[in-house]
Amino acid sequence: MTLKFYDLCGAQSELRFSPFCWLARLALAHKGLKYETTLLRFTEKQNYPDPDYGKLPILVDGDKVVTDSWSIVCYLEATYPERPLAHSSGEWAAAEFFRTWTGAVLFPPLVPFMMKRVHAILDKRDQDYFRDTREKRFGANLESLDQKTMSGKESMEAGLATLMAPLGAHDFLGGAVPNISDYIVFSPLQWQRCVTSETFYDTPAPVVSWMDRMLEVNDGVAGRAMCAGDL
């Protein structure tokens, strides 16, 4: 039975930007699994396999509906063990660290910068929804969030600097080949890449080289993705 993957898109249907969807997509690509993709927008929740959950990505495998990107990763690893996303309990422990680290270090400075720019790539209905929900969530309008961007410059650069040691010595966080830790850390950076060509921080050379390699892995699934700057 064919796997079905439900992904979030912008006004242009092929502009698939969500960092959480990217994590699941990269896991699927790593495993070489074939699947059908359905592209949906924020305001098309009635078409989500689980409308009450109301978020993407969602994976459907037969009668199994899997929500949440990390749950999808774990489900794929348990159900399709070929081409493992990590090869040992130690690698999975490292992945749990990078998952926590990414949430604590990369997302906080990125989110204020991204909100106005994500809004710009959405269609009108999604723009209204996105502005309303995000401004309620953050207690500030998108424009004022954007003004906070530069305050995150130092923390973003300090966070990326911590990657210099492993990526200066190895091609990937997984060592010679990418594993789930690479996909966890890369996903928010791919989010930024897909949405905007702008940046607000300097990226260390070893991290730039790693990102270039990540764009080529798994038949270049990340590198071939549509970006807002291509429109």
Domain count, the chain: 2
Domain span holding position 125: 89-230
Query: Which H, E and C letters describe the chain, residue by residue?
Result: CCEEEEEECCCCCCCCCCHHHHHHHHHHHHHCCCEEEEEECCCCHHHCCCCCCCCCCEEEECCEEEECHHHHHHHHHHHCCCCCCCCCHHHHHHHHHHHHHHHHHHHHHHHHHHHHHHHHCCCHHHHHHHHHHHHHHHCCCHHHHHHCHHHHHHHHHHHHHCCHHHHHHCCECCECCCCHHHHHHHHHHHHHHHHCCCCCCCCCHHHHHHHHHHCCHHHHCCCCCCCHHHC
The residue ranges of the chain whose pLDDT is under 70 are 1, 231
State pLDDT tens for residues 109-147. Answer: 999 999 999 999 999 999 999 999 999 999 999 999 988
Q: Are residues 99 and 121 in the same domain?
A: yes
Residues 64 and 106 in one domain: no
Identify the pLDDT of residue 147.
82
Same domain for 115 and 195? yes
Domain membership of residue 168 (yes or no) is yes
Q: Residue 148's pLDDT is what? A: 77
Same domain, 171 and 118: yes
pTM: 0.97
Domain end position, chosen among 20, 46, 79: 79
Per-residue model confidence (pLDDT) at position 35: 98
Domain presence at residue 84: no
